[in-house]
Every structure is written in structure tokens, then in C-alpha cells.
Amino acid sequence: MSDRPAVHSPYAEAAQQRDADLLGMYVFLVTEVMLFGGFLSAVSMVRVLHPQEASSAAQHLNLWLGSMNTAVLLTSSLAMALSVQVSREGKRRPTIIGLCLTAALGLVFLVIKGVEYYQEYREGLMPLSDGIKPLSKPGEQLFFNFYLVGTGLHALHLTIGIVLVAGLVWGVFRSRVQLPHRAVTVEIVGLYWHLVDVVWVFIYPIFYLAR
């Protein structure tokens, strides 16, 4: 991703560079799809191997907080989509507001997720928590461990996304990312954000809803 309006070395013209940047992000997202795709297929296999245990473990998850987080994240994607649109029209202030809203909603998601993890720790669901273990059957703890790793990996991606959006806000604010000339930079970060959102759209039903 380029911060300067100038065309970089291997490129002859700005349009070619924009196309390449965009394609680069799409290819990167393909790798993310394979990463989470492999993980989710493993979760599906656990659900097939241990159907009873998976659904009883899923009932220990907090459906309300999970659903609230789904709403928060989908709204953040709306804010991101609007930012991409206004950045193409060259409107700096609305772009910055939209991006700030996106990042803020991302932070809200992480806070809710943290509260949820804390509750689960208190209930003794975590593999390292002390005291009574409500998940006594083997498949139950396995399912919960998959949930923990999957949501953790997603939270890590979301954290990276928030850092990227914050950097982008700074770039637009300091006019390092010039709009609408480099609106593609906003679009590229937006693509990443939407992917993190889409991953959650798969994580949410496979862990929370199928109980």
C-alpha cells in the first residue's frame, strides 16, 4: 500500500498500481479464507464426531453477548462501507468520522468479548480455570477449546484491523493518503475489515447457534 500519490517503481501509471494493490489484498484475503476455512472444517468434524457433547458445551456459551457482538461487528462493517464510499467522493471529514466509528465498534466488540471470556473463566469453562469443571465429558471440553482458539484467532485479526484503521485515520488526517486519488487504500483496509466480519459470521453460528 502506498502513502504517496506518486507512482512507484515497477508501475508505469497510477491506475495499474491501484489495480495491483487491490489484487494483492484479494490474494491475501484468499489466504485468510484458507486459514479460517481449515479451522472451521476441523470444528465441523468435532461436531460430527461428538454431536451430543458439542451441543451441551454450546449451551454454556453466552448467546446474548455473542449475538450482541454480531450486531456490533455488522454495524462496524456498515460504517466501513460508508467510509469507502465517501472516500471515493474525496470527502475527508466524513471518511475520518466513518473510520473512527468503525474502529470504535471494533473496540466495543473486543470489550464484550473480554467480558465473555471472564465469565467463562469464572464458570470454570476455561481449560486452565480452577474449581468445578462443568464440562466433564471429553468432547465438551474439546468443543470449548476449539471455541476459545477460534474466537481468539478472530480477536487477534480484529485487533490488527483496528490498528490498520487507526493508521488509516492518521494517514487521511495528515493527508498522507490523498482522497479521492488513493481511495483505494481505504478500500483495501475495508476489504480486510469485511473479511474479519465475515469470519465472525461463520464462527457465530457454528459455536453459539447450533446448540
Pick 94 or 134: Cβ nearer another protein: 134
Interface map 43-62 toward another protein (x if CB under 8 A): --xx--xx--x---------
CA angle 7, 11, 16 (to 5 degrees): 90
**Where does 14-62 have alpha helices with state H?**
14-49, 51-58
Cell numbers found for residue 174: 495528515
Which listed residue (55, 62, 145, 178) binds another protein by CB under 8 A? 145
CA distance 2 to 156: 24
Interface map 96-135 toward another protein (x if CB under 8 A): -------------------------------xx-------
Interface map 147-176 toward another protein (x if CB under 8 A): -xx---x-----------------------
Interface map 24-43 toward another protein (x if CB under 8 A): x--xx-xxx-xxxxxx--x-
Pick 54 or 105: Cβ nearer another protein: 54
Pick 41 or 132: Cβ nearer another protein: 41
DSSP 65-126: HHHHHHHHHHHHHHHHHHHHHHHHTT-HHHHHHHHHHHHHHHHHHHHHHHHHHHHHHHTT-S
Q: Note whether 34 and 40 are within 8 A (CB).
A: no
141 binds another protein (CB under 8 A): yes
Cell numbers found for residue 101: 466509528
Please tell me the total number of residues recorded for the chain in this structure: 211
Whole-number Cα distances in Å, 130 to 90, 123, 159: 55, 9, 28
Which listed residue (109, 146, 192, 207) binds another protein by CB under 8 A? 146
| Interface positions with another protein (CB under 8 A) | 9-12, 16, 19-20, 23-24, 27-28, 30-32, 34-39, 42, 45-46, 49-50, 53, 127-128, 138-139, 141-142, 145-146, 148-149, 153
